[in-house]
Amino acid sequence: MKSYRKELYFTTRTRRAFLNITPQVEECLRESGIKEGLLLCNAMHITASVFINDDESGLHSDFEVFLEKLAPEKPYSQYAHNGYEDNADAHLKRTIMGREVVVAITNGRLDFGPWEQIFYGEFDGKRSKRVLVKIIGE
Ligand code: ZN
């Protein structure tokens, strides 16, 4: 069995952003040489997510509205976590959107359903953060 590990780095200019990281993950898969197996991709920070969904700007705007309804950023004082920090909403949003995805690898490709793309969801950005890609198989 082969094993591959890589960290990807992302810095967003805004506090919140959704980045389609499918091309970078596919590059990792090519680099690994693995043709059959499983790929894990997870955010290494507790205020960011990795999730799979459609690359459609209307949907991304809907996610933003949905998450702001469930865990509004402001007022910061509404959260017990915000004593030394202002990112309680980011922790909550990350939990809703998830930490990681696992994708099957078949014939050297990500075995996606229609329209599936991998996204990095940033909820407390403007700093460098890491995503782990781990691939096992042969
Ligand atoms: Zn925090």
> How many angstroms does the Cα of residue 70 sit away from the middle of ligand 1?
17
Residues 6+ apart with CB under 8 A from 86: 76
Q: How confident is the model at residue 25 (pLDDT cuts 50, 70, 90)?
A: very high
> How many angstroms does the Cα of residue 21 sit away from the middle of ligand 1?
24
Q: For 2-137, which CATH superfamily applies?
A: YjbQ-like (2.60.120.460)
Q: Please state the separation of Cα 128 from the chain's center in Å.
A: 14
> How many angstroms does the Cα of residue 85 sit away from the middle of ligand 1?
6
> How many angstroms does the Cα of residue 47 sit away from the middle of ligand 1?
7
> How many angstroms does the Cα of residue 87 sit away from the middle of ligand 1?
5
The pTM of the full predicted model, rounded to 2 decimals, is 0.96
pLDDT, mean over the chain: 98
Half-sphere exposure of 126 (CA within 13 A, CB side): 6
Give the model confidence (pLDDT) of 83-100 as tens digits: 999 999 999 999 999 999
